[in-house]
Amino acid sequence: MSTAVYKNLIGGQWVTARSGKTFLNLNPARYEDTVGEFPTSNAEDVADAVAAAKAAYATWRLTPAPKRAEILYRTGEILTQRKEQYARDMTREMGKVLSETRGDVQEAIDTAYYMAGEGRRLFGQTTPSELPNKFAMSVRMPVGVCGMIAPWNFPMAIPSWKLFPALVCGNTCLIKPAEDTPLSTYNLVQTLMDAGLPPGVVNIVAGFGPEAGAPIVTHPDVRAISFTGSSEVGRIVGQAAAANFKPCSLEMGGKNAMIVMEDANLDLALDGAVWGAFGTTGQRCTATSRIILHKKIAAEFTERLVARARALRVGDGLDEQFEMGPQINQQQIDTSTHYVEIATREGARLLCGGERLIEGAHAKGTFFAPTVFSGVTPSMRIAQEEVFGPVVSLIECGSLEEAIGQANGIQYGLSTALYSRDVNRAFAAIRDLEAGITYINAPTIGAEVHLPFGGVKQTGNGHREGGTGAIDFYSSWKSVYVDYSDKLQRAQID
């Protein structure tokens, strides 16, 4: 079968990269399966895409928001029809199992409907003026051309979190998908076009970070940047944006803790731990990578978790008998392997997994065994640093207070969870856990699109995706004063 060839989308036209170079998108479950060939773009392609987005902005910003929203609503309808096909495409390029890629497409559908509703809201404020015969209000204005840089782990959901609020606010966009998962962004943007999005309003520039991502951040006509990815790259992006005072939303790494107290429903906590730690092969920014166990239940919980981890069926996500897919690429396998070595050297006990799976069909992809470490202490690197693989660390505590201190004792602050039946403990945890998200009696993963999503400390720089937080990022406030007194009135003076 010949390899499907994809081009950049610039001003509504599919065009090859100026360099003429391409790269291959491979199936991480079966390397012999090439998903597609994509353009390797550089600063010249970015400049073309920015020019197209700038030209389209002239009319898109004046299109009434409810009309812009109708396109998003139709996008939601068409995505619903194509959900199964797009989920299969995503499993092929990203690896996570079909039930999860269906969820990823569903997240884009939910975001489409939510942001379509925003087209008839985009609320501002009216407020009294301090002066007579004067009217005061604030309205939302679009920002202009927005540049977006996406990671590979939620290949359709994350681009939809960025594109849909930006579009309903009247901005035009260029997006660089992650090099491992460009097809899902293509599917998303193709759907927007089929729903009636005018040419140039969204442009795609595929390629690698330093060549195709960095020029988006520094281009003078790009007015805002939205980045999701590692804290390491986020720091580079944030500093480059700051040099030109560009609004820049950074959504980055996590080292998320689940606390299980002695009064918890252990069956429920176990289900949550397995899903939180090994769902998406641990490759979620919100993955449960530390489980802080009260010492009274630690032994029982540990034994049962290890049994569940060992029993997980790992394989090609397109085959629905499997519960966990591959890691995205060799680099992620190397990272997981590296952290297993570090944890072992630091004195943590490897209870299961800890290695790449290489027997039979596993040899054709990048599979890693579900891995559990016990005897982890809060200062170990395995308890501090993001692995982004199916590796979970068990830490013991003697009280909720101690557990919260351990949960907070890291540089990240994305998601947290507490399992307890005690309402007083629940509210103390909600108050004291330093994180953008806290779940009670549910794992650290499972965000819904109409609530703010993001974290504190080194996870983010204060912005939020999802809900109205996204509308705040993609619009800029204009305060409007209408003086109908027919004379000069001076605020603070008259």
The residue nearest ligand NAD at its CB is 209
Closest separation in Å from C-beta 94 to ligand NAD: 11
Catalytic residue among 100, 285, 397, 465: 285
- Pairing relationship of beta strands 349-352 and 371-374 according to DSSP bridges: antiparallel
DSSP-derived secondary structure for 176-190: E--TT-HHHHHHHHH
- On whether the CB atoms of residues 155 and 88 are closer than 8 A, the answer is no
In sequence order, the 6+-apart residues with CB closer than 8 A to the CB of 26 are 33, 34, 35
Pick the catalytic residue from 93, 211, 251, 396. Answer: 251
d(CA 353, CA 130): 67
Contact 242, 211 (CB under 8 A): no
Taking the least distance from each CB to ligand NAD, the nearer of 151 and 317 is 151
Rounded-to-integer distance, Cα 416 and Cα 428, Å = 13
Half-sphere exposure of 202 (CA within 13 A, CB side): 29
Catalytic (active site) residue 251: yes
Q: How far is the CB of 248 from ligand NAD (least distance, A)?
A: 11
142 beta partners? 475
Burial of 50 (0-12, 13-18, 19+ CB in 10 A): buried
d(CA 182, CA 192): 16
Q: Which residues, including other chains, have CB under 8 Å from residue 193's CB and lie 6 or more apart?
A: 12, 202
Contact call for residues 273 and 305 (beta carbons, < 8 A): yes
Q: Which two tokens stand for residue 402?
A: 């101690």
Taking the least distance from each CB to ligand NAD, the nearer of 119 and 326 is 326
Q: Which is nearer to ligand NAD, 211 or 396 (CB)?
A: 211
Question: Nearer to ligand NAD by C-beta: 217 or 340?
Answer: 217
| 285: annotated active-site residue | yes
User: For residues 200 and 229, which CB has a smaller minimum distance to ligand NAD in the complex?
Assistant: 229
The nearer residue to ligand NAD, 397 or 471, going by C-beta atoms, is: 471
Smallest separation, CB 489 to ligand NAD (Å): 47
Residues near ligand NAD (CB under 6 A) are 149-154, 176, 178-179, 208-210, 213-214, 217, 228-230, 233, 236-237, 251-254, 285, 386, 388, 414, 459
> How crowded is residue 485: how many other Cβ atoms within 10 Å of its Cβ?
11
Please report how close the Cβ of residue 41 comes to ligand NAD at its closest, in angstroms: 11
Count the neighbouring beta carbons within 10 Å of the beta carbon of residue 457: 16
Shortest Å, Cβ 331 to ligand NAD: 8
Smallest distance from ligand NAD to CB 333, Å: 13
Active site members: 251, 285
